[in-house]
Chain A
Amino acid sequence: MSALETEAEPTATSSGFMRSATATLQHARYTFAENPVSGIAFALFVVLLICAVIGPAIVPYSPLASDTAAALKPPSLQHWFGTDQLGRDMFSRVVVATRLDMAIAVFSVALVFAMGGVAGIAAGFFGGWIDQVVGRTADTIMAFPLFVLAMGIVAALGNTVTNIVIATAIINFPLYARIARAEANIRRDSGFVQAARLTGNSEMRIVLTQILPNIMPIMVVQMSLTMGYAILNAAGLSFIGLGVKPPTPEWGIMVAEGAGFIVSGDWWIAFFPGAALMLAVFCFNLLGDGLRDIVDPQRRT
C-alpha cells in the first residue's frame, strides 16, 4: 500500500505529480530488470499487439481462401502451421484471429471496468442501500459457477459475439465491484477527502477528483490480471459453439474444428490456435503479476 500512497495520493500539485511519475517509471524499470519473465511477457504482448493491429495485412494467404488440393497438409515451408481440411492456411488463420480474440477480451474488460467501477465506488463511498444492492448483486453472481453462468447468459441473450462480451463482463463484475468498493470505502473519510469536503467540493466532484484517481492503479492491475481470464472464457464459449460462427477465424472455434482430427493424428489444426491462445493468456497473467509488483509491492506472492 505504501508505494501506492506515496506515488498516487498527492495529485494536488503538478510538480509533485511529475516527481511521482518519474519515481514510478524508475520503479517499473527496476521491476522489469529484476524479473526478466515480465520482460518476456511484455515482448509477447508487443507481438500480440502487432498481430491484432496489422495481422490481416501481413499474412501470406487469405484466412478464408480454401484450396482443396492442399487440404490437411502438415506444417511446411509454404504453410508454416499446415492447412486444415479445406486447405486453408492455418498460420494466416491463427494470426488473423488475434484481432477478434483480443477485441472480445478488451471490450469485455473495459465494460466490466466501467460497470464494476461505478457500482463499487458508489457502494463504497455512499454506503447505505446502494451498498446493499451492489453487494447482493455481486453475491448472487458469485453463487453460480462462472463459466456456467456465462453459458446461460449467452443462451438467453442470443448467440452472438456481442453477447459473449457482455457475459464475460457480467461474470467478472463481482471482482471489480468488490475491489472498487473496498478501495473507495477506506478513503471515504481519509484526510484529503475531508479537506476537499471542507473546501466546499460537492460529493460528486470528490468522487471524480479524489477517489477515482487514487483507486485507478489498482483497477488497472485488475484489468490486466483479468484479461487472460477473459480471453480464456471467450475462447471456451466459442469452443462449445457459442458466439463466433465458422468460418470466422477465432482461436476457440479453430481448436474445436481441429479436435476431430486429433484422433487421426492431424495435430496441427488444433495445436497452433490452442498454443496461440495459451501464450496470450500466459502473457497477460505474467504481465498482470508484473504490473501488480510495480503498483502494489506488498501483494507479491
Chain B
Amino acid sequence: MLSQIARRLLTALPTLIGVIIVTFLLTRVLPGDTAAYFAGPAATPQAIEEVKKKLGLDRSLPVQFVSYVEALAKGDLGASLSTGQTVVKDIRTRLPASAELTLAGLVLGIVVAVPLGILAAVRQGSWIDHLCRVVATAGVSLPVFFSGLLLVYLFYYRLGWAPPPMGRLDVFSTAPNSITGFYLIDSLIARDFETFRAAFAQLILPAVTLGMFALAPIARMTRASMLAALSSEFVRTAKASGLSTRAVIVTYAFRNAMLPVVTTLGMVFSFLLGANVLVEKVFAWPGIGSYAVDALIKSDFAPVQGFVLTMAILYVMLNLLIDILYGVIDPRVRIEA
C-alpha cells in the first residue's frame, strides 16, 4: 500500500512540472507587458524599467525560468501591490476560509446526492428517480453566482433567516483563536458556542450554494453506477442466496457502485474550486478566490499568478488523494499496482 502511494506520488511529478511551466508561461511569454502588470496601473516608464530589471525580465527565458523555480522553492511568489503583503502570506491567511467553504459545500453535496442517487436507482421510475433527474439537469445549468443571489434574496431579504452576505462573521463576533483556521472547528475547541453559531449562520448560505452545484454530477453518477451494480450477477447471486434487501444494497451493490462516484469527485473538485471564486464574490467571503478577483480588477498580477498556482497544486493533491482512496475502496487496484 505504502509503495503504491509512493509510486502514485511520483506520477504526479510530471503534472506538477507542467503546472509550473504553464503558470510561468502565463506571466512571461504571452503578449502584454509583464513588467507593466507587476509595476501596477499607475507606474511611470522608469518604474516599469526598474521592475523589469528587478524581475530579471531582461534576461533570456530559460534563465528566467530557473530563477522563477528557485524563487518558488523558497516559497516566494512576489508581493501584492494592493495589500502590500507578500502573496504567500496573503494566501496563507485566506486559504482556510476558502477551504472551510469548499469542504462544507462538498460535504453537503455528498450527503444529499449519494442517498438521492441510491434511492433513484433502487426505485427506478418512481417520483424520486424523476426528482433525481431534474436535480441533476438543473444543478449543472444553474450559474452559482445566480443561485447564490437567489438564496440571499429569499433567506436574507424576504425571510430574514440568514445574516447579511458579508463574510465569515457578523460585526458583533470576534474570530476564534486560529488553530485549524476553520472557524467552526476553532470556536468549538475554544468552547465559544456564540461564535460557532455566528460562523455557522454565515457559512450556511454559501455552502448550500456550492452544495447545490456539487450535487448534480454526484447524484447522476451514483444513480448510474448503482443501476449498473444492481443489475450485475453478484447482486443477483446475493439476492438468490436469500440475503435481505438492505444487505444486498448496502454491502454488495453500494460498495461497488462507489468506485465511479469517487472518480467523479475529481471532476467535481475542478468545478467546485472554480465555482468557489464566484460564490466568494457573491458572499464577500474573505477567501483566496475573492482575493484573486480583487487583484485581477486592479491589474495586480502577482496575487493572480500565486492564486492560479496554489489552486492547481491543491487540485493535483486532491486528485492524488482520490486515487489513494480508490485503492482503499477497491482491493483489485492495489494488487494490479
Contacts and interface: CB of A to CB of B under 8 A. Distances in A.
Note whether A and B form a binding pair.
yes
Interface of A: 136, 139-141, 143-153, 155-158, 228, 232, 235-236, 239-242, 252, 255-256, 258-259, 262-265, 267, 270-271, 274-275, 277-278, 281-282, 285-286, 301
Given A144-B315, A285-B141, A301-B224, A240 B278 contact: yes
B97 to A, nearest CB: 16
B22 A151 contact: no
A143 B15 contact: yes
Interface in B268-313: 269-275, 277-278, 281-282, 292-293, 296-297, 301, 304-305, 307-308, 311-312
A145 B288 CA distance: 14
B149 A274 contact: yes
Residue from the set B31, B145, B150, B281 with the largest chain A CB neighbour count within 10 Å: B145
B48 to A, nearest CB: 16
Given A152-B308, A262-B157, A278-B141, A145 B315 contact: yes
A153 B14 CA distance: 21
12 contacts: A143-B316, A145-B315, A148-B273, A148-B274, A148-B277, A149-B308, A240-B278, A240-B293, A241-B293, A241-B297, A259-B282, A274-B150
Contact of B296 (A141, A241, A278, A282): A241
Contacts of B26: 152-153, 155-156
A206 B31 CA distance: 38
A143 B18 contact: yes
Contacts of B297: 241
Contacts of B21: 140
A240 B137 contact: no
Given A140-B18, A263-B156, A148 B312 contact: yes
B168 interface: no
Contacts of B304: 151-152, 155
A30 B133 CA distance: 21
B27 interface: yes
Given A157-B30, A277-B143, A277-B146, A136 B18 contact: yes
Given A151-B308, A240-B278, 4 more contacts: A140-B21, A144-B311, A149-B22, A258-B149
B157 A263 contact: yes
Contacts of B56: none
A144 B277 contact: no
A145 B141 contact: no
Interface string B116-140: 0000000000000000000001101
A256 to B, nearest CB: 8
Interface residues of B, number: 55
A144 B146 contact: no
Contacts of A157: 30-32
Contacts of A252: 143, 145
Nearest to A148: B311
Contacts of A301: 220, 224
B270 A140 contact: no
A136 B23 CA distance: 16
Nearest to A150: B274
Contacts of B153: 262, 265, 267, 271
B interface, over-half SS = helix
B167 interface: no
Contact of A140 (B22, B141, B164, B220): B22
Contact of A263 (B30, B164, B275, B307): B164
The 9 closest A-B pairs by CB, nearest first: A147-B274, A274-B146, A140-B18, A145-B273, A152-B308, A282-B141, A156-B26, A281-B141, A148-B311
A242 B296 contact: yes
A152 B307 CA distance: 9
A228 B138 CA distance: 12
A232 B216 CA distance: 15
B19 A143 contact: yes
B333 interface: no
A255 B142 CA distance: 13
A241 B293 CA distance: 8
B83 to A, nearest CB: 17
B270 A156 contact: no
B94 to A, nearest CB: 15
Nearest to A155: B304
A270 B18 contact: no
A255 B26 CA distance: 29
Most buried by A among B18, B22, B146, B301: B146
Contacts of A146: 270-271, 274
Contacts of B258: none
Given A259-B282, A263-B156, A152 B23 contact: yes
A236 B138 contact: no
A152 B142 CA distance: 23
A239 B278 contact: yes
A240 B308 CA distance: 15
Nearest to A282: B141
A295 B2 CA distance: 45
A146 B271 CA distance: 7
A258 B301 CA distance: 27
B152 A263 contact: yes
B277 A140 contact: no
B211 interface: no
Contact of A270 (B137, B149, B281): B149
